[in-house]
Structure 1
Amino acid sequence: MSKIKTIAFAVCAALGAGSAYAEEFLVGVQIPLTGPLARVGMGTQEGIRVAAEVFNKTNGKHTIKLVTVDDESAPAKAVAAVEKLASQGVVAVTGGYGSNNISPASDAANKLGLAYITSGGVDDGLVKAGRKNFFRINNTEGYQKALVGLIGDLGVKSVSIIYSTKDATHGLAADVQKTLGAKGIKVAMHAFDPAITDFKPILNKVKLRDRSEFIAMVGYENEYVGILRAARVLKPTTVKAIAGVWSLATPKMAADFPDLMPNVYGTAVLPFPVNFTTADGKAFGEAYTRLHKKEPDYLGQFGYVQSMLLFEAIARAADAGTIKKGGVIEEMRKTDRQTLIGRVQFDANGDNKNFTQRMGQHQGKKVELVWPKEAATAKPVFPGVPW
């Protein structure tokens, strides 16, 4: 080979290496930014943005560019969002909130051959549908264990469960009822249609008929607010504590509804404010505070974890040359990593069976972890209600 050809070959090789080094992948974010799920959608999106920021600074070889479409908290719009993202060339999708939105959206992604990961859908039907592309980092069982564990540790003997008739919330409420009943705890069930806004009739039943010690709310943010407002008006005298599941024990809820949150319990991965001790946690906390000018909460943590796992799988598939051959989905199945929410592994259905939630409580201007005892940052204030 002549000297000129050798130099030309070396230059081409260098350019090729540079191209691989700077390889950028589009990742779709299908998320509710308007509609009734907007608050939780925006919280999750904040974590997704942080994941892209941290990944792009630390991977050293590949970069991620996010393409976001608002699904408007509606199933049909969620499908349209995924299809639009696919048309723009994304290699995978992260996001989603609400099992009734995630189910059709992940179906659409499956037909398009795109990996789909979420932390916003806990209906068990999502992992029983046989989708090869679906992954979630949390599930009903993890929330049920936390809520039942708290109730057991508090020594509560009677519970009123107020729950939405949506699939995920109905399923979780039924699981909690069954588990509490097996422990000899008296349970009264109160279903409500997601369209209602006046919860006083239900709270009247809790006050006059149930006379329960504990109210468990299984719904979403706007519904929690309605239930708590009704409870503050009616003040059921036998109630000693009120708890909800996702999206309740957050600094955002405390800031927006300071009169409703005192002493209320909700699931929480970490306390607020939080002191991260791991390298991953410190990277997340620093980037989150810098990007969003506030302390992180658990919605951001979930969005970060799900997306970072996806980005890492994309990088592995890129290195293996399998991006266009279903490699992202295959690499997701190999995931086994310690994260901000604990160890994450996916079973054959895409479920993370390691997931267990914790319970937090609004105490003053903080969210303290109160269950399980080994993770607690404070003792529960009990009895304690927001009136």
Structure 2
Amino acid sequence: MKSWNRPDVPTLPGRGPIPQLFDDSRGHKVASPGTDGRAGIYVCGITPYDATHIGHASTYVAFDGFQRLWLDAGLDVDYVQNVTDVDDPLLERAAATGVDWSALAASQVDLFRADMTALRVLPPRDYVAVTDAITPIADAVGRLVDEGYGYFVETPDARVPGARDIYFDSTAAAERTSWHLGLESRLDTLSMDAFFAERGGDPDRAGKRHRLDPLLWRTAREGEPSWPSIVGEGRPGWHIECSVIALQHLGPHFGLQGGGSDLVFPHHEFSAAHATALTGEPFADAYAHAGMVAYEGEKMSKSLGNLVLVSRLRAAGVDPSAVRLVILGHHYRADWEWTDAELADAIDRLESWRSAAAVPSASGDQVEELELLDELRRVLSDDLDTPAALAAVDAWVSRASASGGLVAKAVDALLGVQL
């Protein structure tokens, strides 16, 4: 699947450190993963409707920040992202609007690409639609069934009489593999049940062995898209798609699994469980999650419809660099609220930065700029502390009388903001 165009990333003098990040599976900061000069990262992509809202943008700008730090440290980055271009919420939106589901997905992916380009987000090396990975996903489901990690549940509304849905046996996985409920363990049973139901799960489905067992394969129903496979006509469950796409493109064990904090449970938990059952190895070295974005007092979400869309801001003439500055003004793990006042402040900040960077230095002396570069690398390598980085640039702007051009390059390379 086509990704989007990669922005130029300026080369800076020297090398930055490999950053630390907060690993949600351990509950503390760790050295960010990277082996043999490479960093592998999988970030869960969009379900393509209502793209691209600021919550989306905040997540992808965060993991773009880690990419930029790894590149500055001299690592090659293997970045993989999926698109969940067939799923219940997408089908429901298509039915409600009278649009073909595949056409809706295609149009929204195009819009997402345009927004990511405008925000100067580095594209994934592999951008993979679920509909392009049906066969390997189905093959993986077949293996899980054969090895005792998948089981069938009676499905009265199946298109083919006698066909059945396939579920993952989470109890068997916990007992027989190295997978442990590292992310889930911080939640009590009631919270897990509520999150599971809220985020695509079906705890009350009759015939399941455990309320939290997730769907691996949905057998074909009337009026729904489906594909032939070794496990019957149907389509994938949500978590197995990311497991298989990550394993295909990053191998059996990689550095970082990323996404929004609403994916901690059940999505990232069970993606890891599926992958560990398939390979016998842990899925990722670390798990990092971006905070949620609110608007007008409530979490910004598709279900509530309280969305601020990047495309609408761009259409209104807002500079995407100002949108990026709003996002960078909050630590990536923090929950925060979008406001028009903060956007106005970001527009003013961007203008002041550009004005300072545009004054040429007659002497070519870059001492203060090199000091700023060191400070940016220092604060950003501490779990991507972008608020501290913005404050450091503000301080330079307040005292700078001229620029040799290094600040503009550093801000572009490390923060993704073009001056």
TM range (shorter): under 0.3
Q: TM-score, normalised by structure 1?
A: 0.27
Q: TM-score, normalised by structure 2?
A: 0.25
Say which structure, 1 or 2, has more relative contact order (CA 8 Å, 6+ apart): 2
